[in-house]
Structure 1
Amino acid sequence: MAGSLRHFALVGTAVAVTGGVAYAVWRSYFNPQEVPPGPPPPPQQQPLLRAPESAGLGCPAPPGADQDKPASKQILVLGLDGAGKTSVLHSLATNQVKRSTAPTEGFNAVCISTEETKMEFLEIGGSESLRYYWKRYLPRILLLIYVVDSADHARLPVAKKLLHQLVQSSSTLPVMVLANKQDLEGAYCITDIHEALALSELGDERKMFLIGTHVAEDGFEISSSLKDTRELIAQLVSDAL
């Protein structure tokens, strides 16, 4: 693979990047009894993995917000275990870097309010035992964020397969792919990620975004690529509501 563009690519309809984050809340949820270890049992015996009803309640309206606006819909954040989903979400929510080393074994619910809208993010862990549940949340979302480890070349075919399976049932669901860990030696640039994930095969009807990201050292302000990502997400959500 070859390519030099490492930061941002937009496939499909152009969207302006505007707005700023005014408020953020971070919550984590997990009930070990809800997620059985190992492969899931047959579908007729499979318990439904449910996000807590309070997941969206920690997102108060910002001052001066229009109370008549429709309630926010969730943004689903998926990707293989180790892709950096939790670290990216924490950076988007707090504007500060905090790397996460422990895999997500359930849900992370993150709420960010801007002057225009509320954004509710729901991350589901990427281990094999949790991927079974991913599709169950697609009908209720307005945007899918799919995070890949740009330096994990061996698992990109698995990431590609799962992404294509996720979106095949919805030809118009907007998708944002974050080619994460761009700071690592050997990381594929976004043109390589575009090819490895065969993003051109996901259809012409949907809005498709590919952004190169990385999470810097703990305690530092987030990178410009993550700031751009946050503002673009805010614009997409505002346009959709």
Structure 2
Amino acid sequence: MGGRLRPAALCGAALAVAGGAALAAWAWARLRGRAAPPAAAEQGAGRGRPVLVLGLDGAGKTSVLRSLAAERVGRGLAPTEGFHAVCVGTGETRMEFLEIGGSECLRSYWKMYLPKVLLLIYVVDSADHARLPVAKQLLHQLVQNNPTLPVVVLANKQDLKGAYCITDIHDALALSDIGDERKMFLIGTHVAEDGSEISSSMKDAKELIAQLVLETQ
């Protein structure tokens, strides 16, 4: 197993949530300097157990995944109408992501995959205030029977006008109520509109996810 995660306090780019009501502002600075265990590096960390990516339709799941994989992508992609698999390599590990579409007809499949994954990434549209209660309800239903499954919530589209900040997203999703035993993180993200470059928030998210994969396998 890799070393324990050590968040470094910066400018509130992310929130690490632990111990129920405990809330602290964190940012993820330099995780890339930590070496992967030799066995994990040789075998490909996480191979066979993907990272599951869920969230309502329109939250930006596919754009987030393409940004993680290719580092250049614009918004405006059509919603995923089924399943979408992406492999992302880093200097330390190889991560396999499985996205399931967020339309109502596909949400019944979400729970079926939870026992088979390393961790859950849950993407929410920070500017879609009206559907945050639905996003909250579905997230709580997902994790209620999985008390130790690590969860990374991406408060996406932070660059949009009217987007809730991550503290408001934390409250809207009632993240303090989601168990005391699991590793859980909330990060504000956005994908550049013109796809010209990967945002610093997406770089932070990629490093955090890679470290969690190394520690969870």
TM-score range, shorter chain: 0.7 to 0.9
Q: Whole-Å Cα distance in 2 between the matches of residues 123 and 68 of structure 1?
A: 20
Larger Rg: 1
TM-superposed CA distance for 1:70, in Å, is 7.1
Structure 1's 133 and 91: CA in aligned 2 closer, same or farther, altered over 3 A? same
Flag structure 1 segments of 5+ consecutive residues without an equivalent: 21-64
Q: Deviations over 1:181-204 (max 9, x none)?
A: 111111100000000000000011
RMSD over aligned Cα atoms: 2.3
Question: In the TM superposition, what are the counterparts of 1:2-81 in structure 2 within 5 Å?
Answer: 7-12=13-18, 18-19=31-32, 65-67=41-43, 71-81=47-57
Q: Does 1:177 align with 2:183?
A: no
Contact 1:98 1:217 survives alignment (8 Å)? yes
Q: Whole-Å Cα distance in 2 between the matches of residues 239 and 16 of structure 1?
A: 18
TM-superposed CA distance for 1:97, in Å, is 2.2
Structure 2-normalised TM-score? Answer: 0.83
TM-superposed CA distance for 1:219, in Å, is 3.1
TM-superposed CA distance for 1:71, in Å, is 3.2
Q: Whole-Å Cα distance in 2 between the matches of residues 83 and 109 of structure 1?
A: 17
Please tell me the residue identity of whatever aligns with 1:221. Answer: E
- Matched with 1:54 is none
Question: In the TM superposition, what are the counterparts of 1:151-230 in structure 2 within 5 Å?
Answer: 151-230=127-206
Contact 1:8 1:190 survives alignment (8 Å)? yes
Q: Whole-Å Cα distance in 2 between the matches of residues 75 and 17 of structure 1?
A: 22
Contact 2:50 2:97 survives alignment (8 Å)? yes
Q: Whole-Å Cα distance in 2 between the matches of residues 137 and 70 of structure 1?
A: 15
Please tell me the residue identity of whatever aligns with 1:217. Answer: E
- Matched with 1:132 is 108
- Matched with 1:102 is 78
Q: Whole-Å Cα distance in 1 between the matches of residues 122 and 201 of structure 2?
A: 16
